[in-house]
Structure 1
Amino acid sequence: MSTFDGFIREFPDIQVDYFRNTQATASRRPLAGFLSHVHSDHLVGLDTLRSPFVYCSVATRAFVLGLEKYPCRINFAKGILEARKLTYKDLQHLLKPLPLETPTTIELSPGNSIRVTLFDANHCPGSTMFLFEDEHKAALYTGDTRLEPWFVNSLARHPCLVEYTAGMRTIDTVYLDTTFVERDVHFQTKAEGLRDLMQAVSRYPPDAIFYLRAWTFGYEDVWVALAKALRSKVHVDAYKMGLYRSLVTGGEAGRHQRVPGGSHYHLDPVAPGLVGFMCANSTHDGCLSTAEDGEHERVRIHSCEKGLGYCPAVTNAAKPIVWIRPVVCRLPHGRGEVPEVGAGGGGEDLNKEVELEVYGQDEASRLCEL
């Protein structure tokens, strides 16, 4: 979970992933904001922001503009139509999307510019790292990232970073998220986690029903892997489906509509596998489903939001449900697991709150000892 105050010391005119007023902003407001991804601990203060522009990836912008607070979603599901409210709808003209891997010069004020390059952060859809540069300084802000060996190697080979890896320039500061950094904790790779999960679910009978207890962004690879291995769609609630459909744009499609054909674009590589795509005149479904028209009985994987009431396939299941509980990593020597508690976008992001309270160091240490 981020405890970063938002300021890049090398570039004091900008603020990243923290948008509340502070003592530093009382005397001088930042001239530009940057948002690395949509997890709630990086959205602090964004709902009250009135200026300046906030730059992010195109997928992050789509997600942010579709977010709703938990009470609004629950009341709307109960038939209170007036309860529906997009939390960040007023930011439509403040959120400015930037392309990935494209150095972009932004004029902060007359004669005062900064160059920024966005890189995929290997975290959740739309998540990015920011490389900030001018002619004399450079700083890399990682946000939340999973620094697996293959990912670090890909960054080292990237043409926008080659002048640094070749020793021609130096990055002055790397702003690195260290939420789970401990000397004796080994983080499994995503591939290792998916392999263990596939081996575990394969031991169950072919009619077993699985419930993945994940209501946040970042588990898309798990959905795709489970759907393919079990030959089943993944049931999600309409709100979550709407968010992922917002990653497809073009034609006259709305936030909850499938693009019927013609020119359309996927704002993130995960979108086609989740919500489907068009090829010529053929519609190809994604792995996600709202389980409409009696489809509940045919869906073996569920990740629908619990607060809206479990779907009939879960509540009326004739056999016990297999509950899949995500963890951050497994501790060495059989010392247990680090639970997912919300840091970096845990189980509450799509659940009850838009802004999570920041844990103190003592609380974080106790959680890591569980």
Structure 2
Amino acid sequence: MHSDHLVGLDTLRSPFVYCSAATRAMVLRLEKYPCRINFAKGILEARKQTYKHLKHLLKPLPLETPTIIELSPGNCIQVTLFDANHCPGSVMFLFEDEHKAALYTGDTRLEPWFVNALVRSPCLAEYTAGLRAIDTVYLDTTFLERDVVFQTKAEGLKELLQAVAKYPPETIFYMRAWTFGYEEVWTALAKALRSKIHVDEYKMRLYKSLATGAADPAGERGHSGPQVSVDPMAPNLLGFACANAFHEGSLTMEETYSDRPVRIHSCEKGLGYCSTVRDATRPVVWIRPVVCRLPYGRGEVAELGAGGGGEDLNKEADLEVYGPDEVARLRELYVAP
């Protein structure tokens, strides 16, 4: 659901689009940056969810469950979805028929532990046993031609937590989670600092769509009834019901919790941040994620949108760029006073 993978979806004419349940839940609630900012400011009277009209077109498939799809009468294909270790809902697709098999990875992060877990899947057992071969792999090669060695997520979290631990306990941290995929960083920070994470209403609505039963996607009902999560991160971020008790998650829209300021913030920058960050009555440290660190102290690789969706949640600007032809037409329309 990164924006670079949604190009054209708002005008797509197709019988169905198959995806994971988490992708469907969040995509249907996505709002373009100007729309959600203007709604929050009261300029727009209603939310404008870009892909809401695709409710009956997006068809969710469960992970690691071979599914037969009929493309046309008598023409069937088997599709299996695997987690891509990238962002909520991101998956790889394994396409199979009686003779051929193809794996499409999309954006993926192939860390050693992840690959080892993937090959142990029972849905891939016939391939790892040598009984079948995957004929074609469509592989994410975003950084393949560059001399870049990626640190693992665990190494990145270790470096972050060691740095955060050096600051005094009254320090406030603003985590620039500008797109989807930093949920594990939120989880690690919340546990280490024993603090909730303050987010804006838009982010909360998006993530609440990953769990149903304990609260509806808009957060308007209570925490009654069983909770069903469509993403493994949902209970940690949103909370879960156990017997008659509801255990709160790490995300909150409140700036204080238990009469203490929330120490971790990823609230909307376009609205001027929240009062805790904006007023800066406590020291504020800004956490800026990078893709990886280059060896031998050669610097860092910043997130420029490749393989990461750009700035889906936290944009610098959202201006339309015009080319020479458009500028020329504007000049023709201009009439001097």
Q: 1:294 to 1:204 in 2, by over 3 A?
A: closer
Q: Structure 1 residues 76-85 or 91-100, which shifts more?
A: 76-85
**Aligned 8 A contact 1:72 1:83 in 2:** no
The residue number in structure 2 matching 1:224 is 187
**2:36 aligned partner:** 73
Q: Which amino acid aligns with 1:155?
A: L
Q: 2:147 aligned with 1:184, yes or no?
A: yes
Once the two structures are overlaid, the 10-residue window that deviates more, 91-100 or 288-297, is: 288-297
Amino acid at match of 2:92: M
Within the alignment, does 1:255 sit opposite 2:253 as a pair? no
For 1:325, give the aligned amino acid.
R
- Pairwise mapping of residues 231-270 of structure 1 onto structure 2 (< 5 A)? 231-250=194-213, 253-257=216-220, 260-270=223-233
In the alignment, the residues of structure 1 paired with residue 257 and residue 190 of structure 2 have an alpha-carbon distance, to the nearest angstrom, of: 19
1:250 positional shift:
2.7
Moved over 6 A (4+): 293-296
RMSD of Structure 2 on Structure 1 (CA) = 2.1
TM-score normalized with structure 1 length? 0.82
> Deviation digits for residues 169-189 of structure 1, max 9, x if unmatched?
111111111112245311000
1:254 CA displacement: 4.0
Residue 344, structure 1, aligned to residue 307, structure 2: yes
Identical-residue share of aligned pairs (%): 75
Shift of 1:241: 0.5
Residue 295 (structure 1) shift: 7.7
Find out whether 1:96 has 2:59 as its counterpart: yes
Matched-pair contact (CA < 8 Å) for 2:83–2:92:
yes
Give the structure with higher Rg (CA): 2
Query: In the alignment, which of 136, 161, 166 is matched to residue 173 of structure 1?
Result: 136
Q: 2:100 aligns with which of 116, 137, 141?
A: 137
C-alpha distance in structure 1 between counterparts of 2:289 and 2:213, whole Å: 34
Task: Tell me, yes or no, if structure 1 residue 118 matches structure 2 residue 81.
Answer: yes
| Deviation, structure 1 residue 279 | 0.9
Give the structure 1 partner of residue 328 of structure 2: none
Aligned length: 319
Q: Look up the match of 2:18.
A: 55
Q: Is the 8 A contact 2:32 2:50 kept in 1?
A: yes
Q: Which amino acid aligns with 2:34?
A: P
Between the aligned partners of 2:312 and 2:258, the Cα distance in structure 1 is: 27
C-alpha deviation, 1:259, in angstroms: 5.1
Task: Provide, for residues 80-106 of structure 1, a one-character-per-residue CA deviation record: whole Å limited to 9, x for no partner.
Answer: 343521100110000000000000000
Distance 2:312 2:241 in 1: 30
| TM-score, scaled relative to structure 2 | 0.90
Cα pair 2:208 2:216 within 8 Å, conserved: no
Map 1:243-322 → 2, pairs under 5 A? 243-250=206-213, 253-257=216-220, 260-291=223-254, 298-322=261-285
- Kindly indicate whether the alpha-carbon contact (under 8 Å) linking 1:296 and 1:313 is maintained by their aligned counterparts in 2: no
Q: Structure 1 residues 258, 123: closer, same or farther in 2, change over 3 A?
A: farther
Given that residues 296 and 312 in structure 1 are in contact (C-alpha distance below 8 angstroms), is that contact kept between their aligned partners in structure 2?
A: no
d(CA) in 1 for partners of 2:225 and 2:50?
Answer: 31
**Corresponding position of 2:4:** 41
8 Å contact from structure 1 (residues 248, 259) kept in 2: no
Q: Distance in 2 between matches of 1:311 and 1:161?
A: 47
Cα drift, residue 296 of structure 1: 9.2
